[in-house]
Structure 1
């Protein structure tokens, strides 16, 4: 009202006030006001994700040059690197540039990142150039999303010195352009194997088994005959218990197994579950269960095809096996730069939110994930979350109690033998275990988590009243991205077995091969400097009679010197009891045949309870001149020193 009055009176003072107010608004809009709901969670501190040898050039550094005028901003602390960032409104036809020129110590391959704060008023077409040894790579970055993280620009070879650069060009941008920091990091190869060798087995008697072969009858939906709602009959290809009704649904703790789908189109032209002939190489004569999710439409913001074991009674633990084949079409997901936050393969519900009277709903989700960036590999993540007490799928109200992720690249187009164990319990007694055997490979432990598997405030948990043992569930955007690139999300399942429990953990000694070399913390071959404490809590989760530890160490070392009779390649392992109060960066130095290699280990990981943590493959000379050393210098939290092991290759 006051602005309109000023305009009518043509009062010069008011005009100046209005112009100043409008200028303030424009400046305010330029500063990040919010991030999009689908942005990845920001790092706790961007500096914490830097590697020891990473090269960072911030906008305040002298290695940055500019053309034109840039403004400085400091809104949303924690979502930019350093003391500030710079910005310009590209929507006004500006042609500014900002160039970052890193000093590269040695020629090699580096992964390049940039960081910016995102908002809906940002340009979605920011031009970024990377000048490297092979030329200049140009790409377009959408700064409306994926803010407050190190955004990957690809891997390139840089020549030693300052000939390479990263440049942001404002010309043609359709919104505000943010210039903060760039980073060069030496790529770290992912482990070849999922994890330590697995020695666990199910505890019988087996409840049910089926390979979806002859006699397994898919009952079609009367209103949509292209999909099944349940399976009945007897799989005559395997021995009893093999009847879908008598043995599976008839198990006293199981309720009813049904198949459900949702896509927005909501019929078999959009999604289905059905039993088909095995289409994979070598699958002739075999039958498999197929999940197919072709598109999500209508008002749906997600799509799913799933098996649901519902209305279970006192199901406080369960062990099950199956084969899983991720169709090669899923590789199309890697063509998207966006992070794939959720692609659920199994889900476990203790008091589901959609059931009547739910007060303490809790779910565990096993997800296939991909990091931000084109071509990033698939990983697995398991998380435990409290959820809203309603049937709404409002994920913003989910509270993550714990989460773990593996570092192994999950393959598509290969059969994976999966073993899953769930046990209801608290932070000390709850358990989730996953082992995977890639076709033709060894069985490895991917997750072995000890933590809450029900709501921490629930005074009377009722077990898995509902759970989805086989699931394909993801976002509408991801489903349609694959469709638009000529594919469909598909998973094949085979050889399903259920067991009541898992056998007690095999001792660490049972995971040692006949020719392996082990040096325990109590052996004469383990020499320590400084003061270490000795512990024996959590029996079965450490090797030998005890372990050593130090809190907030100041340089204490534990050096393990193995006696090697035959020179050759060895795989090196360590064992420790993981917990949240451990150091997340314990240096293990491996001295092998005159060469030193150092591996940083996150001892907060609980998946390696009772397991051997792989430190890599190295050539060792014979004798006693080699060693593995733990050093507490620079660590924060507890450092565990238990045993090391060398496995001849």
Structure 2
């Protein structure tokens, strides 16, 4: 949990832990804020009876991988925690564990066996990650936010298809533009999760499907629906990873100012599918001066005792379980990809290093120690949506640099770029404008064509994809 160690800001610098750090006031739109696969020293610890925390550094990621300094200390984030509301570890728990006895990959596992929180005439159970504004530190709210996470529903969850009743809420994520619990005047929430229709005849099974709804809240009135959508065409997977991508943009239902809520799901081994793409209010529809996103639960498991009890009673040892992995949080659509954090594909075999350099973005550049024309490296980036993009590359020019041609998925893009400079020069090259890219993992190849000096090395800082539509 964030104990907020920095105390003041001075221009573009922040006084943190007694040192002056030269960092931006907030991430550039489309920049990675934080990422973790729950590896390295990522550690869950108990803070109080109903609150846990995760701290440490995920060393499987090369940057923006510390749960405190990168996530909680970011000026647009605030506090991170795991929250349960009630019960004990015999009723519910979140743990960082191996994915399976034979797979050492670490995951965040939610286990929900008993509903212990009273709510009018029923009980409910909850496990959730909170990313909430810290009231003591005046965060900048997120007018745009994108996150990506892998989710695996345990096979026990599939038992719900045989429940002989409708399921109207099994929440997997929730987003608040002004919450209900802090006295905000115009609360609003978007809830994403799983629903199920009631059987038409006795004994009939019905599949779970993705559902999203938005609601205003007013004291004395309660919740009022603004919009809602179902997606019954996507086949929900069990015991298999699904990659969720969720995008939020603050706005209303007026042309030119529309809000947007977007969800894409990629089943393991399958094709990416956009399940929701909604242009409408993403704040209270009566709010003429809304904040951005200030409180959200990107990984959540929240439902009624009817759902929890049915799964528990369907077999010995059963419980409602969900695994999470490879969480990424971005300020807007992903557009700035740090070279040191990108997946590396094939290379020409020359040494490839992440070189520490405080003048590079996030203090690293990727150096290919190429020595002849024909040397190359491939880097991969996940593009979140189809569209036209300006393609830019941040580089460190120097005396030992060569010339390169960039290609995307095997097609040359732009002209040959000269990487030489008589002094270290950190610059951004525009490779192409209004270039069509498609959603999914794209391959960016840097191919050495020659040199204007005597060296052939490449120094790549980042790739920037600026959406144009």
Q: TM-score, normalised by structure 1?
A: 0.44
**How many equivalent residue pairs?**
300
Give the secondary structure class of the aligned counterpart of 1:478.
helix
Q: Which runs of 5+ in 2 are unaligned?
A: 1-27, 134-138, 336-384, 390-408, 410-433, 435-468
Tell me what 1:207 maps to.
Answer: 33
| Cα distance, 1:503 vs structure 2 | 5.6
CA distance in 1, matches of 2:261, 2:99: 30
Give the secondary structure class of the aligned counterpart of 1:220.
strand
| Cα distance, 1:377 vs structure 2 | 0.8
Greater relative CO, 1 or 2 (CA 8 Å, sep 6+): 2
Larger Rg: 1
CA distance in 2, matches of 1:313, 1:347: 19
| Cα distance, 1:221 vs structure 2 | 3.8
Tell me what 1:243 maps to.
Answer: 66
Instruction: Specify which of 302, 305, 311 is matched with residue 476 of structure 1.
Output: 305
Per-residue CA deviation, residues 560-609 of structure 1 (Å, 9 max, x unaligned), is xxxxxxxxxxxxxxxxxxxxxxxxxxxxxxxxxxxxxxxxxxxxxxxxxx
Instruction: Specify which of 133, 145, 149 is matched with residue 318 of structure 1.
Output: 145
8 Å Cα contact 2:32-2:334 kept in structure 1:
no
Instruction: Specify which of 99, 103, 109 is matched with residue 278 of structure 1.
Output: 99
Per-residue CA deviation, residues 497-522 of structure 1 (Å, 9 max, x unaligned), is 1111116963499xxxx9xxxxxxxx
CA distance in 2, matches of 1:417, 1:397: 33
Q: Which runs of 5+ in 1 are unaligned?
A: 1-201, 391-395, 515-539, 541-610, 612-649
Q: How does 1:181-260 map to 2 (within 5 A)?
A: 204-221=30-47, 223=49, 229-260=52-83
Is 1:459 the counterpart of 2:288? The answer is yes
Change (3 A) 1:438 1:203: farther
Pairwise CA RMSD:
2.7
Per-residue CA deviation, residues 137-175 of structure 1 (Å, 9 max, x unaligned), is xxxxxxxxxxxxxxxxxxxxxxxxxxxxxxxxxxxxxxx
| Cα distance, 1:252 vs structure 2 | 1.2
More divergent stretch after superposition (329-338 vs 311-320): 311-320
CA distance in 2, matches of 1:247, 1:296: 34
Give the secondary structure class of the aligned counterpart of 1:480.
helix
8 Å Cα contact 1:363-1:385 kept in structure 2:
yes
Per-residue CA deviation, residues 519-541 of structure 1 (Å, 9 max, x unaligned), is xxxxxxxxxxxxxxxxxxxxx9x
CA distance in 1, matches of 2:155, 2:174: 23
Tell me what 1:267 maps to.
Answer: 88
Instruction: Specify which of 170, 173, 189 is matched with residue 363 of structure 1.
Output: 189
Q: TM-score, normalised by structure 2?
A: 0.60
| Cα distance, 1:214 vs structure 2 | 2.0
| Cα distance, 1:298 vs structure 2 | 6.7
Q: How does 1:72-471 map to 2 (within 5 A)?
A: 204-221=30-47, 223=49, 229-263=52-86, 266-279=87-100, 284-297=103-116, 299=118, 301-311=123-133, 312-356=139-183, 358-373=184-199, 374-389=204-219, 397-407=222-232, 408-428=234-254, 429-471=258-300
8 Å Cα contact 2:118-2:124 kept in structure 1:
no
| Cα distance, 1:483 vs structure 2 | 1.4
- Greater fraction of residues in strand: 2
8 Å Cα contact 1:426-1:454 kept in structure 2:
yes
Per-residue CA deviation, residues 406-446 of structure 1 (Å, 9 max, x unaligned), is 12221111100111100110014100111111001111211
Give the secondary structure class of the aligned counterpart of 2:312.
helix
CA distance in 1, matches of 2:282, 2:41: 36
Q: How does 1:31-70 map to 2 (within 5 A)?
A: none
Per-residue CA deviation, residues 58-103 of structure 1 (Å, 9 max, x unaligned), is xxxxxxxxxxxxxxxxxxxxxxxxxxxxxxxxxxxxxxxxxxxxxx
8 Å Cα contact 1:319-1:420 kept in structure 2:
yes
8 Å Cα contact 1:327-1:489 kept in structure 2:
yes
| Cα distance, 1:466 vs structure 2 | 0.8
8 Å Cα contact 1:255-1:313 kept in structure 2:
no
CA distance in 2, matches of 1:277, 1:378: 27
Give the secondary structure class of the aligned counterpart of 1:245.
helix
